[in-house]
């Protein structure tokens, strides 16, 4: 029997699919080392897994895919690895722009990109601008991103508005705050997947994942494929999200 997509499961079980999935793509270095190769080889293979994750997201009608590509702490790595990662990011943007257009994907980079060299910044802005009117999958790439940075940059913008008298301090609600985060205007994160076996958040979206479902897998990122993605989606669908409420149909 043909495997049903998560969308069909959804209709059958009256549960909803994740609309926004965020992935901590971890394990590239270990994947390469296990093969006796340099870590950068794992990052290059990881790029293939990124394309597979995007393909899966489109087929399964996800609205938003947020990928953690480079954290604000990843500057702690050897210079050679950082430079290679930046080159790979640039190459990926330049070579994939045609596919972003073809598949109607809107690209957005979240994180402080001013740390990157001018060439890479230009390539990011160009890809964002060219795809800005696309209305298919929203692809967020978190690059030089930190959840704590995101909260602080949001606070700074809010303080600025308060100082100018545009925003009243008494009107600052949770919703207001969310609007200043780099993920503003996006649907909430339903599901966070982390590959590579570690069970931590590593300064990824902090505020945004207060009620997200978390899914950890030992699969190393270059081995990630549509089967693993589907397993994560199935796990999500089988869970009951209560948001602080009670279990459904429970005797009171
Ligand atoms: C994730 O893989 C990619 C980035 C953080 C850029 P790692 O490079 O962290 O791989 P491991 O965790 O060392 O195996
Ligand atoms: C998290 O992976 C960051 C990205 C996947 C971009 P790390 O490999 O940097 O996380 P830690 O150091 O194991 O927490
Ligand atoms: Mg890692």
Q: What is the DSSP string of 130-148?
A: HTTT--S-EEEEEEEE-HH
Residue 248 binned pLDDT confidence (cut-offs 50, 70, 90): confident
Rounded to whole angstroms, what are the CA distances from 180 to 110, 175, 184?
A: 12, 9, 6
**For ligand 3, a single-atom ion, which residues have Cβ within 5 Å?**
26
Judge whether 74 counts as a catalytic residue: yes
β-bridge pairing 191-194 and 213-216: parallel
29 assigned ligand-binding residue: yes
Rounded to whole angstroms, what are the CA distances from 245 to 136, 188, 210, 211?
A: 33, 18, 15, 12
Judge whether 117 counts as a catalytic residue: no
Domain ranges within the chain, ordered by starting residue: 20-146+189-238
The structure's pTM equals 0.94
Per-residue burial over 115-141, b = 16 or more CB atoms within 10 Å of its CB, e = otherwise: ebeeebeebbeebbeebeebeebbbbb
Atom of ligand 2 nearest to the CA of 202: 14
**Range 20-146+189-238 has CATH code 3.40.1180.10:** yes
73 assigned ligand-binding residue: yes
- 144 Cα to the center of ligand 1, angstroms: 14
**pLDDT per residue over 140-165, tens digit each?**
999 999 999 999 999 999 999 999 99
β-bridge pairing 64-71 and 106-110: unpaired
- 61 Cα to the center of ligand 1, angstroms: 28
27 assigned ligand-binding residue: yes
- 207 Cα to the center of ligand 2, angstroms: 18
Residue where the block lists tokens 């149909």 = 249
Res 251: pLDDT: 79
**pLDDT per residue over 54-110, tens digit each?**
999 999 999 999 999 999 999 999 999 999 999 999 999 999 999 999 999 999 999
* Residue ranges around ligand 2 (CB below 6 Å): 24-26, 68-71, 74, 198, 200, 202
């Amino acid at each position: 029997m043909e495997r049903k997509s998560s969308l069909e499961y959804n209709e059958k079980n009256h549960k909803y699919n994740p609309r926004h999935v965020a992935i901590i793509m971890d394990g590239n270095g270990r994947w390469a080392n296990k093969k006796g190769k340099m870590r950068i080889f794992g990052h290059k293979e990881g790029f293939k897994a990124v394309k597979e994750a995007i393909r899966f997201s489109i087929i399964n009608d996800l609205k938003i895919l947020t990928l953690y590509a480079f954290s604000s702490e990843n500057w702690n790595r050897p210079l050679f690895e950082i430079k290679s990662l930046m080159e790979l990011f640039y190459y990926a943007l330049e070579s994939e722009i045609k596919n972003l257009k073809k598949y109607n994907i809107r690209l957005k980079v979240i994180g402080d990109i001013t740390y990157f060299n001018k060439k890479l910044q230009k390539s990011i802005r160009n890809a964002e601008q060219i795809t800005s009117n696309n209305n298919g999958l929203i692809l967020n790439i978190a690059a030089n991103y930190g959840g704590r940075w995101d909260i602080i940059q949001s606070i700074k913008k809010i303080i600025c508005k308060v100082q100018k008298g545009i925003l009243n301090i008494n009107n600052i609600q949770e919703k207001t705050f969310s609007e200043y985060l780099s993920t503003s205007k996006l649907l909430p994160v339903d599901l966070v997947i982390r590959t590579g076996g570690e069970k931590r958040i590593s300064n990824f979206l902090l505020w945004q994942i207060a009620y997200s479902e978390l899914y950890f897998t030992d699969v190393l990122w270059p081995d990630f494929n549509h089967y693993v993605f589907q397993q994560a989606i199935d796990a999500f669908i089988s869970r009951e999200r209560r948001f602080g409420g009670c279990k459904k149909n429970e005797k009171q």
